[in-house]
Chain A
Amino acid sequence: MNPILAAAAEPTVSLSTQTRVIAALIAIGFMVFILDLIRRGRLQERYSVIWFLAGLALLAGAAFPGLLEVLASALGVRDTNVALFTLLILFLLALAVNFSVIISGQAKQITRLAQENAIAKADREFPGGSGKSGGESGDDGAAE
C-alpha cells in the first residue's frame, strides 16, 4: 500500500515520548523566560499574559497530542498540520495587529507629551497671554 495514503488514512497525531518531553521543556523554558523578563522589568505584566497563555498552549500540546486532532476536526481539516499552521498564523496576525494598535496609542501619547513640552517652553517666552511681550499684542489678539 502506498505509504502516503496509509498516513492520510490514519490521522492520529503520534509523537514519540522524546519529542513530547522536548516540547514540554521548550514550553516550560519559554514560560520561565517570560517570567524572568517581567522580573527584570523588561516586560510589563499587561503584555505578558498573552505570551504566558501561548506557553501554556504549547505545554498542553506536548502533554495531550490528541488536542490538535480535536482542533483539526473542529475546523473540518483533515490534516492536523494544516490546522496547526492556520491557527498559528491567525494567532500571529492578531498579535501583530494588536501591537500596531498599541504602538499607535503610544505614538499619540508621545506626540501629546512633546506638544505639552513645547508649549510649556513657548509659554516662558510669552508671558501669560495677557501681558505685552516686547511690544506685541497679537493680531489674533485677545483684544478682539
Chain B
Amino acid sequence: MFIPAFDEEESITAVIEGVRENIPGATVLVVDDGSDDGTARTARGAGAIVAPLPVNQGLGAALQTGYLFGLKHGFERFAHLDGDGQHPPAEVVRLLAEVEADRADLVIGSRYRDPDLAEAEDYRPSRARRIGTDLFRYALSFATRQRFTDTTSGMRAGNRRAMELFGEYYSPDFAEVESLQRAVRAGLRVEEVPVRMLPREQGESFLSPVKSAFFIFKSLIVILVGMFRPRHPNGAGGDR
C-alpha cells in the first residue's frame, strides 16, 4: 500500500491510520514528493515507511517510486490512494479484493461508476471539473474501446503485472489517463469499482483553471500519441 503525498502534513496521519485499521498487515509506504512541510516526519510518526523524493517530481514520478519499491521487495499486490484524505481506505479493501480474486490486473476506484453512490452527498465535482472528466472519459473510452467512467482517479490497486508495466515507464506528470491507456494496450485486465470519495480535508487541489486546461490538452495529446504506440502483446515486462 503506498500513498503519494505532497505537503499533506495535516491529513496524512488520518489516512495512514485509516489504512492500518482497514487493511491490517499492510506495509504502508508514503512517497513524499519533496514536501516543504513535515509530511515525512508526520508519516513516520504514524508508523509508515517513508520514501522521500529530494525534490518535487510530480505525482507520476511519486507513484512510480511506489511501484519500483514494490517490485524491488517482491510484493504481489499494491494499492494506492491520495494522501489528502479524499479516499476512504475502507473502499480500497474492495479494490484489493478484486485483485486478490484475480479478476483484474488493475482496479480503479471510480467516483462515477455508480451514480447513487457518487452523487449522494459526498463528492460533488465542480462544473469545470465535470467537463474535463467527461472529455477524458470519452477520449479514453474511444482510444481503448473499453468503458471508463473515472479516468483520473488516484485510488487504484493492482498486481505484479501492473507494477511491472508502471515501474518500467510512468509519465512523470499527472499521468492517470495515459497509464490506463497503456495498461489496456498492454493487455492487462483493467476494471473499475464504484467507490465513495470525500471532499478534500486539507490543502488545495492542484488544479487551477489554467493548469486544468493545460492538463487536459496535454493528456489528450498523450492519448493520441499513445494510440500509435506499439502494443506489448505479452503485457509489461515479458510473460512472467
- A interface with B by C-beta (< 8 Å): 107-108, 110-111, 114-115, 117-119, 121-123, 125-126, 129, 133-134, 136-142, 144
Contacts and interface: CB of A to CB of B under 8 A. Distances in A.
Interface in B44-100: 44, 47, 49-55, 57, 61, 64-65, 68-70, 72-79, 96
With a 10 A CB-CB cut-off, give which of B1, B25, B47 has the most chain A CB atoms.
B25
Nearest to A139: B26
Contacts of A144: 76-77
B177 interface: no
Contacts of B31: 118
A140 B1 contact: yes
Given A111-B172, A139-B77, 13 more contacts: A107-B172, A118-B32, A118-B51, A118-B65, A119-B65, A126-B27, A138-B26, A140-B26, A140-B77, A140-B79, A141-B75, A142-B76, A144-B77
Contacts, number: 93
B50 to A, nearest CB: 6
A85 B72 CA distance: 54
B51 A122 contact: yes
Nearest to B19: A139
Given A118-B31, A122-B29, A139-B96, A129 B54 contact: no
A4 to B, nearest CB: 46
A133 B44 CA distance: 13
Nearest to A116: B68
6 contacts: A111-B57, A122-B29, A137-B27, A138-B27, A140-B1, A144-B77
B23 interface: yes
A121 B76 contact: no
B54 A140 contact: no
Contact of B53 (A115, A136, A142): A115
A122 B49 contact: yes
B1 A119 contact: no
Contact of B25 (A114, A122, A138): A138
B25 A139 contact: yes
Interface in B1-48: 1, 23-29, 31-32, 34, 44, 47
